[in-house]
């Protein structure tokens, strides 16, 4: 498969990409074919995937980062794919991402830029992909907004039930919040919808903590939107 992005230069040490795990395979292909970086059997290449990237994961990364590459003239490449990351883990990475070693290059792959704190995002270079933009279906979000508080709670209960039965995932809850946010913005604007937009952003931030209460966060949205 042809990569959906290019990386002609490694001018930055800290990067992030928005998308699925498919991007990881594309990134590895580019690193090998464009930058001549060996992926297989290379002790200076690291990759990991996480449902939630935690403070312990940050500490391991910081410790590993301080070890020089095995190859004197080599680069240390780190690719981390995550579905979520806690706030404390992000704060622990701030200095590392701002002042990485001259041999270290980090690539974070996340499903949404909303996962990242502004302070972390400002230290990362976004690698733009050329994937086709898909029009977001906001039908459910519009129905949710028009419904009574009681009906909204029923909608949330069904979503939570589907997640518990593994018919859906936490990412589906995040996507739903994204859709609701878009509807609030389009229907109310920033001024009239400010309070709702702030509560959505807060819920989306806490949803990536180590042990978030999805029920509490989503039901809170149902009653406060």
pLDDT in tens, 25-71: 999 999 999 998 988 889 999 999 988 889 999 999 999 888 888 87
Distance, in Å, from the CA atom of 52 to the CA atom of 174, rounded to the nearest integer, reads: 14
pLDDT in tens, 148-194: 999 999 999 999 999 889 888 887 888 888 888 878 877 887 678 88
pLDDT in tens, 69-121: 887 668 899 999 987 788 889 999 999 998 898 999 999 998 778 778 889 99
DSSP-based three-state secondary structure for 82: strand
**For residues 142-149, average pLDDT:** 92
What does residue 104 show for φ and ψ, rounded to 5 degrees?
A: -100, 135
Q: Are strands 104-110 and 125-126 parallel, antiparallel or unpaired?
A: unpaired
Q: What is the pTM of this model?
A: 0.66
SS3 of the chain: helix, strand, coil, percent, to 5: 50, 15, 35
At residue 128, the pLDDT reads: 85
């Amino acid at each position: 498969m042809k990569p959906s992005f290019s990386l002609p230069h490694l001018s930055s040490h800290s990067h992030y990409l928005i998308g699925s795990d498919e991007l990881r395979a594309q990134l590895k292909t580019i690193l090998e074919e464009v930058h001549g970086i060996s992926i297989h059997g290379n002790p200076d290449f690291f990759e990991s995937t996480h449902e939630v990237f935690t403070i312990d994961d940050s500490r391991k990364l910081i410790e590993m980062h301080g070890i020089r590459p095995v190859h004197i003239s080599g680069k240390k490449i780190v690719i981390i794919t995550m579905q979520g990351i806690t706030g404390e883990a992000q704060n622990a990475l701030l200095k590392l991402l701002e002042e990485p070693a001259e041999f270290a290059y980090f690539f974070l792959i996340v499903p949404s830029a909303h996962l990242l704190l502004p302070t972390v995002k400002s230290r990362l270079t976004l690698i733009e992909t050329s994937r086709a933009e898909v029009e977001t279906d906001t039908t459910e979000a519009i129905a949710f907004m028009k419904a009574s508080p009681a009906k909204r709670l029923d909608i949330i209960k069904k979503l939570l039930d589907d997640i518990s039965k593994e018919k859906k995932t936490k990412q589906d809850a995040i996507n739903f919040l994204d859709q609701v946010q878009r509807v609030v913005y389009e229907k109310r604007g920033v001024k009239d919808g400010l309070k709702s937009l702030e509560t959505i952003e807060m819920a989306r931030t806490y949803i990536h903590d180590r042990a978030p209460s999805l029920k509490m966060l989503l039901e809170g949205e149902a009653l406060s939107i």
